[in-house]
Amino acid sequence: MKNKILIIGAGAAGLMAARTLSKSGKQVTVLEARNRLGGRIHTLSDESFFKVTELGAEFIHGDLPVTLNLLNEAGIGYHNANAEMWRYENGAFKENSMVIEDWDLLLKKLNGLEQDTNVWNFIEKEFPGDKYTWLRNSVWSYVSGYDTADPRNASAFALRNEWQHEEMDAQHRIDGGYCSIISYLATECKANSGEIFLNAVVQEIEWKKGNVKVTTDDGSVYEAGQLLIATPLGVLQAAKGETGAIVFTPEIPKYAKAIQQMGFGAVIKLLFEFDTAFWLDRQSHEMADINVDKMGYLFSDEEIPTWWTQAPDHSTVLTGWIGGPAAADKTNTPNTEILEQGLQSLANIFKISFEEMKGKLIAYRIMNWTADPFTRGSYAYDTIEAPVARKILNIPVENTLFFAGEYLYDGTAMGTVEAALTSGLEVAKKMLK
């Protein structure tokens, strides 16, 4: 029992910890609720459509040390995914138009802010009236789209920090997809006698110092000396009785409160494969009046506002993205309806009829991460209370219960796989002490 460790969740954080602990001689058992590994990493690779296309995490945003070291160690390659950012508004395409008017003034006023508040309160107070309508709309779109956060809940201090340290670093995609990292970590864990069980939905954790008993929905019981909880924050925030929700016996009220104080975003991702890359045809060139070949990201005010290509790789796949409150509002929207909203959004942008657009579509996949019971959202963002809550959750409960995940990372790569891997590595080191 002394050497035995249980881990709940086989995403990046859980598997990074499992691999580190098992290599150090610990007896590790990982319980995963899904029928696959990876959590919010979900590469479609062995299907007739969407060859190596990501339903979940997709990019390495910059030269991130833990991710790149792991790739180098595993001998997994990665390639450039830099592409131009365009905008479609008022019937026209605008090349490289990510500059937001009054941005410098916004940062200047943010720098003068002495007490944290939610970013939407700040914006409405400091930038009222018609003059700043565009700025307010841009901030709302950016915070909900990029951070997948609710601007009415997101910390102005945290966003100030993010925006000031934002480097338009190199973007990378992983050869073979993000699942290559997951497979590597799982193989390493198993090579060191680690066990991984799928379809193991944890319902209850009974614990006392130095002893943990975990019960899954099929009545199986697992025991260990220590437990690492590496589920998404959204699952920990689930109400008692909901699918995937976990009951602690005895309760851990201070930790439960901290979990509820953190922000967890909402997102829906759409993958559309077409018979041709119609956005590169002559009509699109003429319409844009410029070279659309380099268009990587396209932002708009459509129902599904954000789209990207696989540029610089040539592909007939378009990825759609909607985050924040607008995605949360669609938690219970059927995929068939989201499919139609996506097609209509593209039809409006490229001035093609809905029926013609639908006729070009040969395959689609929609991942409503917020509706998924074992994720319940996208990734974490900071609320005003989050820094204190994070400190609490990074302290083990009686050296018996530990938490890991991207929401516990405190650095500039928030909400990324890098954040999850870093958290998993750090908590494993803590457990080995």
Render pLDDT for 345-399 as a digit per residue (tens, 0 to 9).
999 999 999 999 999 999 999 999 999 999 999 999 999 999 999 999 999 999 9
Instruction: State which of 344, 368, 392 marks the end of a domain.
Output: 368
Are 319 and 235 within one domain? no
272/364 same-domain check: yes
Q: Using the CB atoms, write b or e for 82-110: b if 16+ within 10 Å.
A: ebbbbbbeeeebbeeeeeeebeeebeebb
pLDDT of residue 375: 98
Residue 367: beta bridge partners? 269
Per-residue pLDDT at 47: 74
CA 77 – CA 176 distance, rounded (Å) = 8
Q: Binning pLDDT at 50, 70 and 90, where does residue 293 land?
A: confident
Summarised one tens digit per residue, pLDDT across range 300-311 is: 999 999 999 998
Can you say how many angstroms the Cα of residue 400 is from the centroid of all Cα atoms in its chain? 28
Q: What is the pLDDT of residue 291?
A: 65
Confidence of residue 98 (pLDDT cuts 50, 70, 90): low
As a whole number, the mean pLDDT across the chain is 94
Which of 335, 368, 401 finishes a domain? 368
Answer yes or no: is 354 within a domain.
yes
Is residue 232 a part of any domain in this protein? yes
Q: Which of 336, 368, 400 is the last residue of a domain?
A: 368
Whether residue 228 sits in one domain with residue 179: yes
Give the Cβ contact number of residue 190 at 10 Å: 16
Quick check: is 373 in a domain? no
Taking 90 as the threshold, does the pLDDT of residue 292 lie above it?
no
Residues 29 and 68 in one domain: yes
Q: In sequence order, which residues have a C-beta less than 8 Å from that of residue 152 and are 6 or more positions away?
A: 118, 120, 121, 325
Same domain, 198 and 337: no
Beta strands 27-31 and 4-8 are parallel
The DSSP symbol for 407 reads: G
What domain count does the chain have?
2
What are residue 363's phi and psi, to 5 degrees? -160, 150
- pLDDT average, residue stretch 88-117: 87
pLDDT band at 294 (very low <50, low <70, confident <90, very high): confident
Same domain, 24 and 139: no
Name the pairing type of β-strands 267-274 and 53-54.
unpaired
Percent with pLDDT over 90 in the chain: 83
Asked, as a colleague might, if the bond just before 312 is cis with ω within 30 of 0, I would say: yes
Residue 417 CA to residue 11 CA, distance in Å, equals: 9
Q: Provide the pLDDT for residue 96.
A: 67
Beta-strand (E) ranges in 69-192?
78-80, 84-89, 92-94, 171-174
Alpha-carbon span 404 to 195, nearest angstrom: 19
Whether residues 406 and 275 share a domain: the answer is: no
**73 and 92 both lie in a single domain:** no
Per DSSP, 333 falls in state S
Task: Report the CATH number that the domain containing residue 186 is assigned in CATH.
Answer: 3.50.50.60
| pLDDT confidence of residue 167 | 65
Q: At what angle do helices 156-164 and 103-111 cross, to 10 degrees?
A: 120
Q: What does the block give as tokens for 146?
A: 């990029």
> Is 376 contained in some domain?
no
> Looking at the predicted structure, is the pLDDT value of residue 288 above 60?
no
Kindly state whether residues 137 and 275 are assigned to the same domain. yes
Report the distance separating Cα 206 and Cα 224, nearest Å.
11
Assess whether 165 and 276 both reside in one domain.
Answer: yes
Q: Assess whether pLDDT exceeds 60 at residue 1.
A: no
| pLDDT digits 0-9 by tens, 323-335 | 999 999 999 999 9
* Residue 298 belongs to a domain: yes
Q: What are phi and psi of 221, to 5 degrees?
A: -125, 130
67 has a pLDDT exceeding 70 = yes
Q: Do 244 and 161 have their domain in common?
A: no
Task: Note down the domain range covering 105.
Answer: 83-169+267-368
Residue 183 scores a pLDDT above 70: yes
- Residue 105 and residue 62 share a domain: no
- The predicted-structure confidence for 11-32, as pLDDT tens digits, reads as follows 999 999 999 999 999 999 999 9
What per-residue confidence (pLDDT) applies to 165? 77
pLDDT class of 289 with cuts at 50, 70, 90: low
pLDDT value for 168: 63
Residue 426 within any structural domain of the chain: yes
- Residue 45 — very low, low, confident or very high, per pLDDT cuts 50/70/90? confident
Residue 375 is assigned to a structural domain of this protein: no
Q: Mean per-residue pLDDT for 99-125?
A: 93
pLDDT over threshold 90, residue 100:
no
Residue 374 lies in a domain: no
CA 256 to chain centre: 22
Looking up residue 332, the CATH number of its domain turns out to be 3.90.660.10
DSSP track, 338-383? HHHHHHHHHHHHHT--HHHHHHHEEEEEEEETTT-TTT-SS-EE--
> Identity (one letter) of the amino acid at 82?
N
